[in-house]
Chains A and B, each alone.
Chain A
Amino acid sequence: MVRFLFVLLIFVSFTAQSGEKIQHWVTDNGVRVYFYPAPELPMMDLRIVFDAGAARDGDKKGVALMTNGMLAEGAGEWDSGEIAARFDGVGAVFSNSSHRDMSVLSLRSLTDEKLLNTALTTFTTVLTNPTFPEDAFERERKRLLVGLERQKQSPDAISDKVFYSALYGDHPYASETTGEIETVQAMTIADLKAFYQQYFVAKNAVIALVGALDREQAEKLVNDVVADLSIGSIAEAIPEVSKLDKADKIEIAFPSSQSHIMVGQPGIKRGDADYFPLYVGNHVLGGSGMVSKLFDEIREKRGLAYSSYSYFIPMRQQGPFLLGLQTKNESADAALKVLHDVVADFVKNGPSEKDLIAAKKNLVGGFALRIASNKSMVENLASIGFYNQPLDYLETFISNVEAVTLAQVKDAFQRRVNPDKLVTVIVGDTSKAQAKAE
């Protein structure tokens, strides 16, 4: 075997991109701002994140998503077509998305003054002066209902829904961002307006900004965007997630050739003290794509699935620890057994020294890729801001990964993952699996 060249780790400074550091300030009305100058390309990326995700839906499931989606459907004097034309006409890209924790609005634009001004004026109006027109609301409601119907034909969407529901029970994380057919049908414009007024406020917002701007320009830009946001107050804390008290297995019959399997339990919060041991450990278990243990056992050794993985999704509260794969119905039992065995073994014995070193090398050596584009930087900044991570989160990422020990990984997994209390969801033609077993 040839010794392949292994370049020793060189220290990758976070400031590699443009010799800059993350700058942070708070606007007069309380918006927390995270700015990173990137002078190389004549463009900028702006992202505003509100603590206004589906976890804030309450009984009106889907209201966070609909509120976010309706902002660009009418604002100031403009209808949806005029808003779209203003963005499109200057080559700007406006986008929005809604998650369990976050509600996000994004703008990418050239920094040419005239183009940028039009894009920003439009973005600001959408953000601060939405009109929630009746006709657009009815249309968007119908489109969401079609989306909900479409979920019923996707084994992935079905298993996701069942999985979160089983993990979180009465907790707000239990429901999907898209809501339920009944709650979407019952929703009113007044619901959206109330949601907007409570949550789309300055103190509940974080702005990330990356682009060819200096500090002065950035401050003015941000001030112009958020000046008309009401101050409001920060959203109240989301309740803690309780641990599962027993294992559960849910099978959903579906006429597909594969069974979609999801396994897991509530995992960790952002900023959790065990974050790095669990993150690095999971890289060995199922988080590193083609070289993880799960990939090796399920796909490389047995050819049972195209993809198999495990992840912690740290959120404001305990996001899921989840493992998954898809395999033909006939192999569902066999694949599930391997998956459970791998997790149980990993929790009991932890990773090998060799595997841990390999995972750290991958994370440390690949760090530069995480901050290589404006797109990835603005995402990093928004996440750091939204979850109140330290400003040096990126700078210390490498040393935090390198500091993780074998004992820490094993200890953290044993305390945080209980292989005897996992939820298992199987969506597929389970009769085929059973017929084979009999």
Chain B
Amino acid sequence: MKKLLFLASLGLFALSGCATTPSMPDMSKPIKRYADFNVYEKTLSNGLKVIVKEDRRAPVMVSQVWYKVGSSSEHSGVTGVSHVLEHMMFKGTEKLAPNEFSKIIAENGGRENAFTGRDYTAYFQQMEKRRLPVSFELEADRMRNIIFLEEEFKKEIQVVMEERRMRTEDNPQSLTYEQFSAAAYVNSPYHAPVIGWMNDLENMNINDLKKWYDAWYRPNNATVVVAGDVQADEVFALAEEHFGPLKAAPLPEIKPRKEIQQRGLRRLTVKAPAQVPYMLMGYQAASLGDSNEDWEPYALEVLVGILDGGISARLETSLVREQQVAASIGSGYDAFTPGRELFMFSGTPSQGRTVDDLEQAVRDQIKTIQSELVSDIELDRVKAQVVAGKVYEKDSIFYQAMSIGRLETSNMSWKLADQYINNINNVTKEQIQAVAKKYLIDDNLTVAVLDPQPLDSSKPRARSVGGRHGG
């Protein structure tokens, strides 16, 4: 299942539920232990949730801090502010000079980074297991003590614009995806790209960053996840020591901005310098956060497996190998989205075939799913892959922590991940057909096509100049 294809753009809708004002004398709760999974959780009195997954295979650990804020918390005019703030989190606190955070982690043998999605901003350090206190001390410091230096901001906003040029402006497929999302989502904040529109980045100022930080970077809006060769009680004690003194505060109210009902097929064309056409199709579909029937998202997960779960799945078999209409084709869907999710197809036609041919071939596949039940062999294959995938995931403590952090930050329990196999196993052929009939219909569909424009307005030319440049 090519979920990763869409991961960069994934993000989750902040439900109004998470924005209720916490009225807390004491939110502290006892430690809960889930022995089957080696997972322990505790909420500190300031509302910070700490989850520990013990895994003793190697003497290492990963520590992640997840904030419930992302591009879906933003409004027009300041798109991208969550991501710019992520960059500024490395640019100095009351105790640390700009970039000193990274130097300390590096000297401790750590690997670190941060990432921003539609509904989360997360920071992580991977280190030898005894370095956890270093991570906690630094993360607790920057949760409340960032200083926003104008000269640092001025440079960093340039860096983010370079990032946007690299990821989006000069990448015709990303450009197509960005405009596709803006058409597929009208009023939902999923409309805007996580990195923000260029014009918003150009007009962002340091006060936008300060306001955002003050509003969202609070212990009661964060989840700390530690996975690896650690003792849960020691982690809780360390968390209390470092994060415990931080003060909770009421969080901003976010309106639901639930996506309007789509009323018919939407089509768009994106012109950009390119060589190869590209097509995106997205159907608005239920997710675990936006469904009246809990089984539906799982049926959609199995459906994406039937279509694209491995080289023997239908899209690869039929569109690439048999009909040879696609040079590449993928399908993607993520059940664990709190808002309206898109069931996606994306692909490139093979030589001599067009994006229209490709769209028709995808539609034919959908029609087949809607009219004929999938086979036992296909269903068994998807289930076998899910079972095996759960074992393979355990090879990475980073992935395990990420899975916990993402679910918790999306207002779902990490336990959903462990019930996943059961929920997938319960999906029937009839349910797969039912969700295909209900969601994969024209009224829910947006189609975007990349229309390649010449790359050589003035013929590509190569010039070779002897001698070193610039002195």
Contact of A6 among B134, B155, B462, B471 (CB under 8 A): B134
B104–A4 touching, CB < 8 Å: yes
Q: Is B128 an interface residue (CB 8 A)?
A: yes
* Smallest CB gap from A358: residue in B: B107
Q: How far is the CB of B404 from chain A (nearest CB, A)?
A: 18
Q: Is B103 an interface residue (CB 8 A)?
A: yes
A366–B104 touching, CB < 8 Å: no
A7–B130 touching, CB < 8 Å: yes
Q: How far is the CB of A404 from chain B (nearest CB, A)?
A: 16
- Inter-chain CA distance A149–B170, complex, in Å, is 16
Q: Is B23 an interface residue (CB 8 A)?
A: no
B58–A306 touching, CB < 8 Å: no
Q: Is A254 an interface residue (CB 8 A)?
A: yes
- Residues of chain A lying within 8 A (CB to CB) of residue B464: 248-250
Q: Which residues of B contact A (CB under 8 A)?
A: 57-60, 90, 95-96, 98-99, 102-104, 106-112, 126-131, 133-134, 137-138, 154-163, 165-166, 169-172, 273-276, 309-313, 316-317, 320-321, 324, 327-328, 348, 350-351, 377, 380-381, 384-389, 391-392, 394-397, 452, 455-458, 460-471
Q: Is A223 an interface residue (CB 8 A)?
A: no
Q: Is A238 an interface residue (CB 8 A)?
A: no
Q: How far is the CB of A155 from chain B (nearest CB, A)?
A: 6
- Inter-chain CA distance A336–B58, complex, in Å, is 42
Q: Is A90 an interface residue (CB 8 A)?
A: yes
- Residues of chain B lying within 8 A (CB to CB) of residue A419: 468
B460–A254 touching, CB < 8 Å: yes
* Smallest CB gap from A9: residue in B: B109
User: Could you list some 23 contacts between A and B, CB below 8 A?
Assistant: A41-B394, A84-B312, A87-B311, A89-B381, A90-B388, A139-B321, A248-B465, A249-B464, A249-B467, A255-B273, A256-B273, A258-B166, A288-B106, A289-B102, A305-B159, A328-B162, A333-B470, A362-B107, A367-B109, A369-B111, A369-B126, A372-B57, A373-B396
- Inter-chain CA distance A94–B312, complex, in Å, is 12
User: Interface centre among B110, B159, B466, B471, by most A CB within 10 Å?
Assistant: B159
A84–B316 touching, CB < 8 Å: yes
Against B, the Cβ 8 Å flags (1 = close, 0 = not) of A3-37 are: 01111001010001110000000000000000000
B317–A4 touching, CB < 8 Å: no
- Inter-chain CA distance A7–B127, complex, in Å, is 11
- Inter-chain CA distance A1–B350, complex, in Å, is 60
A88–B107 touching, CB < 8 Å: no
Contact of A300 among B98, B316, B348, B455 (CB under 8 A): B98
Q: Is A70 an interface residue (CB 8 A)?
A: no
- Inter-chain CA distance A312–B186, complex, in Å, is 47
Q: How far is the CB of A18 from chain B (nearest CB, A)?
A: 8
A43–B455 touching, CB < 8 Å: no
The 9 closest A-B pairs by CB, nearest first: A365-B109, A91-B388, A303-B155, A84-B312, A84-B311, A303-B158, A366-B109, A88-B310, A372-B58
B-contacting 9-mer, from A140-148, A192-200, A214-222, A345-353: A140-148
- Residues of chain B lying within 8 A (CB to CB) of residue A6: 107-108, 134
* Smallest CB gap from A147: residue in B: B327
Against B, the Cβ 8 Å flags (1 = close, 0 = not) of A93-131 are: 110000000000000111000010000000000000000
Q: How far is the CB of A221 from chain B (nearest CB, A)?
A: 18
- Residues of chain B lying within 8 A (CB to CB) of residue A289: 102, 106, 111
Q: Is A396 an interface residue (CB 8 A)?
A: no
* Smallest CB gap from B160: residue in A: A306
B165–A143 touching, CB < 8 Å: no
A306–B166 touching, CB < 8 Å: yes
A305–B397 touching, CB < 8 Å: no
- Inter-chain CA distance A88–B470, complex, in Å, is 55
Taking A1-B95, A368-B59 as contacts, is the C-beta distance between A304 and B158 under 8 angstroms? yes
Q: Is A371 an interface residue (CB 8 A)?
A: yes
Give 14 new A-B contacts, CB below 8 A, not counting A4-B138, A153-B276, A300-B155: A1-B96, A5-B137, A6-B107, A10-B130, A110-B391, A139-B320, A249-B468, A253-B461, A290-B112, A291-B103, A328-B161, A328-B165, A340-B471, A363-B109
* Smallest CB gap from B56: residue in A: A40
Contact of A81 among B96, B126, B317 (CB under 8 A): B317
A149–B103 touching, CB < 8 Å: no
Interface residue SS majority, chain B? mixed
Contact of B172 among A2, A87, A153, A336 (CB under 8 A): A153
B327–A250 touching, CB < 8 Å: no
Against B, the Cβ 8 Å flags (1 = close, 0 = not) of A65-101 are: 0000000100000001100110111111110000000
A110–B388 touching, CB < 8 Å: yes
A366–B99 touching, CB < 8 Å: no
- Inter-chain CA distance A366–B111, complex, in Å, is 8
B127–A365 touching, CB < 8 Å: yes
Contact of B466 among A80, A88, A249, A373 (CB under 8 A): A249
- Inter-chain CA distance A6–B391, complex, in Å, is 35
Taking A249-B469, A306-B162 as contacts, is the C-beta distance between A296 and B99 under 8 angstroms? yes
* Smallest CB gap from A374: residue in B: B395
- Inter-chain CA distance A150–B327, complex, in Å, is 11
- Inter-chain CA distance A363–B381, complex, in Å, is 42
Taking A110-B391, A290-B90 as contacts, is the C-beta distance between A252 and B460 under 8 angstroms? yes
B107–A142 touching, CB < 8 Å: no
Q: How far is the CB of B351 from chain A (nearest CB, A)?
A: 5
B60–A369 touching, CB < 8 Å: yes
A17–B57 touching, CB < 8 Å: yes
Against B, the Cβ 8 Å flags (1 = close, 0 = not) of A136-168 are: 100100110111011011110000001000000
Against B, the Cβ 8 Å flags (1 = close, 0 = not) of A315-340 are: 00000000000111000010011001
- Residues of chain A lying within 8 A (CB to CB) of residue B273: 153, 255-256
* Smallest CB gap from A5: residue in B: B133
* Smallest CB gap from B327: residue in A: A146
- Residues of chain A lying within 8 A (CB to CB) of residue B166: 258, 306-307, 326
Q: Is A246 an interface residue (CB 8 A)?
A: yes
Q: How far is the CB of B62 from chain A (nearest CB, A)?
A: 9
- Inter-chain CA distance A296–B96, complex, in Å, is 16
- Residues of chain A lying within 8 A (CB to CB) of residue B90: 290
Taking A328-B165, A361-B108 as contacts, is the C-beta distance between A16 and B457 under 8 angstroms? no
Q: How far is the CB of B38 from chain A (nearest CB, A)?
A: 12
B162–A326 touching, CB < 8 Å: yes
Q: Is A262 an interface residue (CB 8 A)?
A: no
Taking A258-B170, A290-B102, A366-B127 as contacts, is the C-beta distance between A143 and B134 under 8 angstroms? no
B154–A303 touching, CB < 8 Å: yes
User: Interface centre among B57, B109, B309, by most A CB within 10 Å?
Assistant: B109
Within 8 A of B (CB), among A28-66: 40-43
* Smallest CB gap from B102: residue in A: A290
Q: Is A302 an interface residue (CB 8 A)?
A: yes
- Inter-chain CA distance A291–B160, complex, in Å, is 18
A152–B381 touching, CB < 8 Å: no
Contact of B99 among A92, A291, A336, A371 (CB under 8 A): A291
- Inter-chain CA distance A92–B387, complex, in Å, is 11
User: Interface centre among A248, A307, A366, by most B CB within 10 Å?
Assistant: A366
